[in-house]
Amino acid sequence: MASTLLGIDVGTTSVRALLVDTEGVVRGQASAPYPTLRPQPGWTEQEPEAWWQACRIAVRELKAQGLLKDVKGIGLTGQMHGSVFLDSRCKVLRPAILWNDQRTAAEVAEIEEHVGLRRLIALTGNRALTGFTAPKVLWLRHHEPAAFRRLCHLILPKDYLRLRLTGELAIDVADASGTLLFDVRARHWSAEIMRILELDETILPTALESPAVSGRVTADVAADLGLPKSIPVVAGAGDQAAGAVGVGAVSAGLVMVSLGTSGVVFTSVTSPAIERQARLHAFCHAVPGLWHVMGVTLAAGGSFAWLASTLGKKEKQLSDLAGSSPPGSNGLLFLPYLSGERTPHADPLARGAFVGLVDNHGPADMARAVMEGVAFSLRDCLELIRGLRLPVEEMRLIGGGARSPLWRQIVADGFGMPILGVETEEGPAYGAALLAGVGVGVWRDVPEACRATVRTAGRVEPQTSVMRLYEDLYGRYRDLYPKLESTFSALHDLAASAPPAEAQ
């Protein structure tokens, strides 16, 4: 068997291990799930130990298939922004607080007040958001002071696997960009932000470029997992930057659209491009010397999964049903703000809504309206990218939602652009494996790795008549949030003040 590269992805619901050979062919894959903890409304947490045990299960499954003998390198990726708090012995202090957790509104306001919004954007390329890491650290200081006093190391989800694999504490510059503690322009931690927030710089791990070797698998772990001894583990990248590598989005003008649990519109830039109001994220790319901008819809595929669960249907079944509703969903619009929103509305209190609902609407219309609403939300992200005068020449669609032919067509029609897929659509784990290949010398650099492995497929052309309809609907969609914003806030306050059900 040819030499292989192992990409490991700490996703929102499971760890995925993917073996890729030096031709870019997937040779094996395995995954293992873990639960999300929701101790209060709006809170999302996971146990880091659950990630590690899931990683062991997935990698051992590849071992059982006899696939690990020729692994030359490991790349790591995973959910961004999560906070893993460690003590002086690198033991976990509490469950990790995830990217979609919304508890830190007060800390977001505190950061923007203390740093100043303009200075914050200048230093980090971003404004403070509830999902980012820095507000979670302040929340720990305010609400769990005993744990905060013991805090010695702050890392992100994938970096916890690095710690368990190699014993090393490190992060990559792409993932570090999403902490709000990182100077994105200079590609290093921001001493000024740490000073203003009165945080000790020693809690931060070493920040490396994504293909850099961060450590080697220890002998004990290699024996436990069935890996060859001393395999290099590269720094890797957060899931969006790694996913972009996996689809070849490593040059200006090539836009990646991801339809996963969240939705992302992502494009590479040769210098930091910071939107005036920081409605787009400006991060370091996994490609050394490049940056990227991206907009995020928090509940993209998540909105569709919610509807399927609510209606008691499988997602594939609901997707097929949506095809029986015409473009425009018989006059029904959907706002996909089920988890608050990031782009273009940095509003944790935003709420989902069906607008235009009448008694002849059924599950098919609701399903298509969700697909169209998510496409319009992603269009919001694209319009901000265009507003920066960045080139938009080619668009590649990935993620679970991209497997739906109907959703692919809706995105093409909603964007008014052709959409391409890729032959091997394996997501962030694939990109992490390519980064490992660069780190161990299989390829000279990341663009070369992408040229050698990534091939496009499945072009979808927009339909002129539907484009015109969607252009009108998109304008009406954009009108809704400003009109409903105060109602969303009032509904949040009402829900927060409601007595427990048993007391009513």
Say what the pLDDT of residue 283 is.
95
| Structure token digits, residue 195 | 């000073």
Predicted pLDDT at 261: 86
In a domain, 458, yes or no: no
Q: What percent of the chain has a predicted confidence (pLDDT) above 90?
A: 85
Of the residues 218, 241, 264, which one is the last residue of a structural domain? 241
Q: Are residues 233 and 97 in the same domain?
A: yes
Residues 322, 191 within the same domain: no
Do residues 323 and 284 touch, judged by C-beta distance below 8 A? Answer: no
Residues 474 and 358 in one domain: yes
Task: Give the pairing of strands 237-238 and 232-234.
Answer: unpaired
21 within some domain: yes
Looking up tokens 């914050």 gives 120
CA distances to 60, 163, 493 from 221, in Å: 11, 11, 49
Final residue in a domain of this structure, among 206, 241, 276: 241
My answer on whether 211 and 341 are in the same domain is: no
259 and 114 both lie in a single domain: no
Residues 237 and 337 in one domain: no
Q: Is the dihedral of CA 380, 174, 44, 133 positive or negative?
A: negative
- Whether the CB-CB separation of 484 and 349 falls below 8 Å is answered with no
Q: Of 241, 257, 292, at which residue does a domain stop?
A: 241
Q: Is 416 left (phi over 0), alpha (psi -120 to 50) or beta?
A: left
Q: What is the pLDDT of residue 502?
A: 57
User: Is 285 domain-assigned?
Assistant: yes
Range with the lowest mean pLDDT among 51-60, 159-168, 275-284?
A: 275-284
Is 300 a member of any domain? yes
Whether residue 196 is found in the same domain as residue 294: no
Residue 117 lies in a domain: yes
In a domain, 483, yes or no: yes
CATH number of the domain bearing residue 164:
3.30.420.40
Q: Both 302 and 382 in a single domain?
A: yes
Please give the angle made by the CA atoms of 111, 116 and 122, to the nearest 5 degrees: 105
The answer to whether residues 282 and 302 touch, using CB atoms and an 8 Å cutoff, is no
**Both 418 and 291 in a single domain?**
yes
Task: Give the separation between CA 272 and CA 275, rounded to whole angstroms.
Answer: 10
- Please check whether residues 237 and 258 belong to one and the same domain: no
pLDDT tens per residue across span 163-206: 999 999 999 999 999 999 999 999 999 999 999 999 999 999 99
Domain count, the chain: 2
Q: Which of 101, 159, 239, 413 is catalytic?
A: 239
pLDDT digits (tens, 9 = 90+) for 453-477: 999 988 999 999 999 999 999 999 9
Q: Is 183 a catalytic residue?
A: no
Task: Give the containing element (helix H, strand E) for 71.
Answer: strand 71-78
* Rounded (5°) CA angle 392-393-394: 105
Considering the domain boundaries, does residue 438 fall inside one? no
Q: Model confidence over 327-360: pLDDT tens digits?
A: 999 999 999 999 889 899 988 889 999 999 999 9
Which of 158, 157, 99, 163 is CA-nearest to residue 130?
99
238 burial class (0-12, 13-18, 19+ CB within 10 angstroms)? buried
Say whether both 287 and 362 belong to one domain.
yes
Domain of residue 52, residue span: 4-241
d(CA 406, CA 383): 22
Same domain, 184 and 259: no
Q: Is residue 124 part of a domain?
A: yes
Has residue 503 got a pLDDT over 50? no
- Taking only the tens place, the pLDDT of each residue in 120-158 is 998 898 999 898 999 999 999 999 999 999 999 999 999
